[in-house]
Homo-oligomer: A and B are copies of this chain.
Amino acid sequence: MNLCADDSASMMEALIATAADPQGCPWAVVPPPPRPLAPVTPSDVSRSFSATATSPVPAPAPHLDKEMLHERLQALIEGVRDSWTYVILWQSSVDTNTGESLLVWADGCYKGCEEDKRKQQPAAASAASAAEQLRRKRVLRELNSLIDGDERSSSANEAAEDEVTDSEWFFLVSMTQSFVNGSGLPGQALFSGDPSWLAGADRLAVAPCDRARQATVFGIQTMVYVPVSPGVLELGSTQLICHSSEITSKIRILFDFNSLQMPLANAVAGSVLSPLSLAASTAVNQGEIDPSELWFADPSLVEIKDFVLPNSASVEISSDENGNFIGSKRNSSAATIVASNLFSSHQIAAAVPDDNMNNSSTGAMSMPRSNDEAKLVFSSAPGRPSSIALMKCSPGGGSIGEFLEGADSDHSDTERSMRKMESSLLTDPEKRPRKRGRKPANGREEPLNHVEAERQRREKLNQRFYALRSVVPNVSKMDKASLLGDATTYINELRIKLQSLESEKEGLEAQVEALRKERQSPRARSPHLGETTNGNGRCYGVEMEVKMLDSEAMIRLQCQNTNHPTAMLMSALKDLNLDVYYASVSVVKDLMIQQATVKMSSREYTQEQLSSALYYRMAAELPPASR
């Protein structure tokens, strides 16, 4: 399946409205429209943009820019001899409300990989399991039906034909990804100005970026981020491609719109596009929002006042326990998938409510639910118009930028602005879609605003829930309480790991230190060891390190030389039935370093058991740092 063609625009709309953050945020902001208590009439539907300043309403069809951009992407990916699988332009933009910077999907081009070429053969060993394939296909099928109309049967038949390869899937779901305030590798590249090149799954796996880590799951071997003037280019390949500065500089030339004057320039030159530029996911049988009405605009100049998606099509995307996404792609025979139009996943979002998708299956087009984790539910008969909004995903793996963002950052500002749109719509008594289907309120006037505020608050809270879930692995049961509990235990888990790692690190550092010293003065081991260390007054904590090899263990204990630490250690070893066959004790001023090699005879301990047993014994009896 070649994904690089412009002919599947409607599919893209759907996709953009559906795909989920690979692992960063399986849920999106807007819950699917609730049960249609008060069915909306067409008159309920409204949409309005209003430019607050000089910038006019965006041009309805800036195809030139779009195409220009896409051409270059295509040229880049095809012109280079390396076998890149895809390229994505992450667009830099700024949230007008918070001033936070964002990197969002702008455009992308998927060339394919070896697997794509093989996949027509059903026997081809696909990296994705059959179940996963089914899931993906179902998602695509569903999206297809979403676009084509109600005839699910026909599209379903078409959809079953070709596989969705891992890399293809990864590319597709990328459209919903975004990076806040320099988070992730894209953010780092953007802020540092330096490209980063990660070749090899191992590199990716340890990258400080969930996206990179996620990529490995989908067979990506190489990822490259190159800052360009409108944002950051991402190249990905299922093959291992070693660094060549040639390509990065080529990219810079091709995509530095600041230095080149081109039609595209006036759109992206400011390197800031509107995070609020909206693209509507076309609803079934609903032409009111033309997917081709896509526009570039300076976010600082444009403010969207009201926006409502009639008969909103919300598709839920979740991620299963393995972190695989469940997204959606239209089944298309097109050779190339193009997701251009500078859509931002921050505007068009997959909506995955946290209530186990309860509220959507009653929609007119509700999906039959399946038991697996792919919870794609689609509802086209909302009770009230759903605003289009989505969360800023905090990429799961914790990019540095993400947490540098600090505690004060508001994770839901885009969402809030979206809410505001809706709010102002709702204040319009004409088009007000009968609130929520509940109480008409006793003719109050004040609650009107209050209700909206509360709505926003709830939404914000949910935002946070989604974000939290995105960073907590193995959330047991899709429900809020479980999430909170799991988050708590997960944090504890992390802290413990951190603690042990830290001590291990310290131990290793000391070891290195010792070895270094030993190397420098191999034989000068006078009983006084020389005054190798620091001046007086220094205090030492108890450091211990245990390394185990088979039935033998190496123990290093560093502590203050008071209270006869040697006796402590040795009797501890005795109590643990460990036979010493090598030991050394050195004292430098008031620091004592003991090293021992022991053999387990009767009982066997794991390294951790031994370590903690010894540590607690030591800790209980030894004074810590004198401090």
Binding site for B on A (CB under 8 A): 188, 194-203, 206-208, 224, 240, 242-243, 394, 396-400, 402-403, 405-411, 457, 460-461, 464-465, 467-468, 470-472, 474-476, 480-482, 484-505, 508-509, 511-512, 515-516, 518-519, 522-523, 527, 529, 541-542, 554, 561, 563-564, 566-567, 569-571, 573-574, 579-587, 592, 594, 596-597, 616, 619-625, 627
Are A484 and B464 neighbours in the complex by a CB distance under 8 Å? yes
Which of A396, A486, A487, A489 gathers most chain B CB within 10 Å? A489
Closest residue to A464 on the B side, CB-wise? B484
Are B573 and A566 neighbours in the complex by a CB distance under 8 Å? yes
In order of increasing CB-CB distance, the 6 nearest A-B pairs are A398-B492, A464-B484, A581-B587, A197-B620, A583-B585, A202-B624
Query: Are A488 and B502 also in contact (CB < 8 A) when A240-B623, A579-B561, A587-B580 are?
Result: no
Are B519 and A206 neighbours in the complex by a CB distance under 8 Å? no
Query: Are A584 and B583 also in contact (CB < 8 A) when A407-B486, A464-B481, A515-B516 are?
Result: yes
Q: State in angstroms the CA–CA spacing of A208 and B611 once bound together.
A: 14
Are B570 and A492 neighbours in the complex by a CB distance under 8 Å? no
Q: State in angstroms the CA–CA spacing of A242 and B467 once bound together.
A: 47
Are B487 and A468 neighbours in the complex by a CB distance under 8 Å? yes
* Interface pairs (5), CB distance under 8 Å: A198-B620, A242-B563, A465-B484, A471-B491, A498-B498
Q: Which of B494, B571, B594, B596 contacts A571 (CB 8 A)?
A: B571
Residues of B within 8 A of A587 (CB): 579-582
Are A491 and B490 neighbours in the complex by a CB distance under 8 Å? yes
Residues of B within 8 A of A494 (CB): 398, 491, 494-495, 498
Are A199 and B407 neighbours in the complex by a CB distance under 8 Å? no
Q: Which of B242, B405, B492 contacts A623 (CB 8 A)?
A: B242
Are B585 and A592 neighbours in the complex by a CB distance under 8 Å? no
Are B476 and A408 neighbours in the complex by a CB distance under 8 Å? yes
Query: Are A584 and B584 also in contact (CB < 8 A) when A492-B403, A496-B400, A519-B519 are?
Result: yes
Are B508 and A620 neighbours in the complex by a CB distance under 8 Å? no
Closest residue to A569 on the B side, CB-wise? B570
Q: State in angstroms the CA–CA spacing of A581 and B461 once bound together.
A: 56
Are A196 and B467 neighbours in the complex by a CB distance under 8 Å? no
